[in-house]
Structure 1
Amino acid sequence: MTNDLRDRARHSHEASALARFGQTGTLPRAITPDCLWTGRCLASSVPDMHAHYSLYLLKGSEKTILVDTGHPVHWDQVRQDVGDFLQGRPIDYIFPTHSELPHSGLLERWMREFPQAVAVGDMRDYPLYHPALAPRFRQVSPGDSLELGDRRFLFLPPVWRDLPDTLWGFDTKDRILFLSDACAYFHAHVPGECDHLSSEIAPPDIAMMQDFNDKALHWPRFTDSRASFPEMDELIARLRPRLLAGAHGCVVDTPGETLPLFKQGIAMGPVRA
């Protein structure tokens, strides 16, 4: 195939993906031609607030990876979304960013749906939950990577982690940073806003982020989180992500403007006795 034909095919693929999975007001949405943002929202403990429970499907030219598994109550919807975006391709890798229910609760169903898929991540405890699937678990560490064809998927140390087995990920082609429970864009949103990017809605509310980090991460209440800021700054400077894709909030396409707000949302300081 000539370069011209390859370019035409690529542009056709990109236009088709963005048209079919474009912004509709509800998930799913293609945040790049090769990355599907899906999941759904659930009512939160705060009145009139929704919380995203997101997962992402990333398609390389040769291999695919599912980042997080989704909440079990959304199985029928996300299975349909992922199947439509795959267009007949299989899922090759499944990456639960950590073992909490919204991130790993559908792991068994995905692995039975795609019997050749391999689960990757910090899998140290998963054989206890799914002993029959243990031969299909692959332990990875920060610094490891997967070749997906036209891109690599890097496994990263989580600066703002939830559980000890948390890992982050990075797509080297579209420069998407997948950061699990960190940078939660927890905000009041009404029907029709669930698939918006950060550039399309109001900035995140600091108090709401603090409430989320108190409940989800816990440790910001007991330590000075500002000590982690240089590590986060170094990671961002090195990777230069275009998109921040977390599990609980909108996808951030304005990282330079929004990261200072995330720092305020996690810099809660130790709780006074």
Structure 2
Amino acid sequence: MSVIDLGGGVSWVHECFPETDAHIHVSVYLVEAPEGAILLDSGSFHHRQRLSDRITDVTAGRGIGAIVLSHSDYPHSGNIPAFRRDWGDFEIIASCGDPDLQGLPYARRTKIGDVTDVLGRRFVVLDPPLADRNHTTWVYDEASRTLFVADGFGTLHAPGACDIDWGRIPEDGRAEGVHEFHAQTLPWLRYADPERVMGALRTMLERHPPAWIAPIHGPPIAEVDVGRYMADLDNALTRITTGDAAWARPGATRPTEVR
């Protein structure tokens, strides 16, 4: 596992799971704030000790002062009890207005559209166009212009591409990695209107322009690469709804398989 500095006080901390012949990230992000370190999601319990050790090392033993959750599935919230034993009763910012329903009665409530202060750092709470649960939220860090997202914007990647951002993944297979991730993770997309989904995403990115898009289940996407990712995602969504006929669109090319 590695820790990679994205700038602006944001670090990418990641692990991977093997997925057939490719890997899928289960990432968390550390954000330095005036009053302590903030963790975006808690990671999978499978990686608990390695995450705890790495976070302890990066924070010089201080640990974290808050967790901001995207949603409460185990890969996102499963380490909270153990981390509270490690670092005390840090603040938890829930991903919905009723954290009791998520089994987090001690968490702070949030609402879509809120601008919330966490340890002296401001986050905008956003309604995600790509999510696998209806209690999911995305957050935008105004200081670093980082958009933290789950579960959309993921990518399956080859085993040798675990420690690099999306733009440095070899182009051969990259588009297929975007397609396969969304086809497997968000099955409701087969019933969606790709134009409406992409329109909602473009509107969000215009209102909150990201220096980085920071997915939980994929490598970070740099600002310079967002346009290419969006083009791959657009083709992926159309392919999911219409099958391989999507690749007959003008200008579209059929991707190779992830190896």
TM-score with structure 2 length normalisation?
0.83
Question: Counterpart in 1 of 2:48?
Answer: 75
Q: How many residues align?
A: 239
> How far does residue 270 in structure 1 lie from its aligned partner after superposition?
5.9
- Find the residue that maps to 2:132 and give its secondary structure: coil
Matches of 1:114 and 1:85, distance apart in 2? 14
Q: Deviations over 1:40-68 (max 9, x none)?
A: 11111x22x11111011111122432111
The Cα of 1:149 is off from its aligned counterpart by 6.4
Decide which moves more: 170-179 or 104-113: 104-113
Alignment partners' CA distance in 2, 1:52 and 1:258: 17
Partner of 1:262: 233
Mapped to 1, the partners of 2:235 and 2:64 lie a distance apart of 37
Which SS does the other structure have where 1:248 is aligned? coil
The equivalent residue for 1:97 is 70
- Match for 2:123: what amino acid? F
Equivalent position of 1:194 in the other structure: 162
Match of 1:41 in 2: 16
What CA distance in whole angstroms lies between the structure 2 residues aligned with 1:114 and 1:66? 12
The aligned residue for residue 119 of structure 1 is 92
Map 1:1-273 → 2, pairs under 5 A: 26-32=1-7, 34-44=9-19, 46-47=20-21, 49-123=22-96, 127=100, 130=103, 134=105, 136-148=106-118, 151-190=121-160, 193-203=161-171, 205-253=174-222, 254-267=225-238, 268-269=240-241
1:215-246 deviations in Å (ceiling 9; x for gaps): 21111112223212221111111111010110
8 A contact 1:64–1:148 mirrored in 2: no
State the SS of the aligned residue for 1:41. strand
Q: What is the CA–CA distance in structure 1 between the aligned matches of 2:37 and 2:180, rounded to whole Å?
A: 34
Judge conservation of contact 2:94–2:110 (CA < 8 Å) in 1: yes
**What is the distance in 2 between the residues matched to 1:140 and 1:237?**
23
Shift of the 108–123 alpha-carbon distance from structure 1 to 2, 3 Å rule, reads farther
Question: Which one is further off, 33-42 or 97-106?
Answer: 33-42
Q: Deviations over 1:94-142 (max 9, x none)?
A: 1221122211111222233232312112356754664xx62x2111011
Amino acid at match of 2:132: D
Distance 1:90 1:55 in 2: 14
Alpha-carbon contact 1:63-1:148 (below 8 Å) kept: no
Instruction: Please give the secondary structure, in 1, of the residue aligned with 2:241.
Output: coil
Structure 1 residues 210, 178: CA separation in 2 closer, same or farther (over 3 Å shift)?
A: same
Structure 1 contact 68–94 (Cα < 8 Å) conserved: yes
Structure 2 distance, partners of 1:210, 1:149, is 37
| 3-state SS of paired residue (2:2) | coil
Q: SS at 1:173's partner residue?
A: coil
Q: CA deviation at 1:256?
A: 2.5
Asked if the contact 1:36/1:85 (under 8 Å) is kept, the reply is: no
Higher strand share: 2
User: Unpaired segments of 5 or more residues in structure 2?
Assistant: 244-259
Identity of aligned residues (%): 25
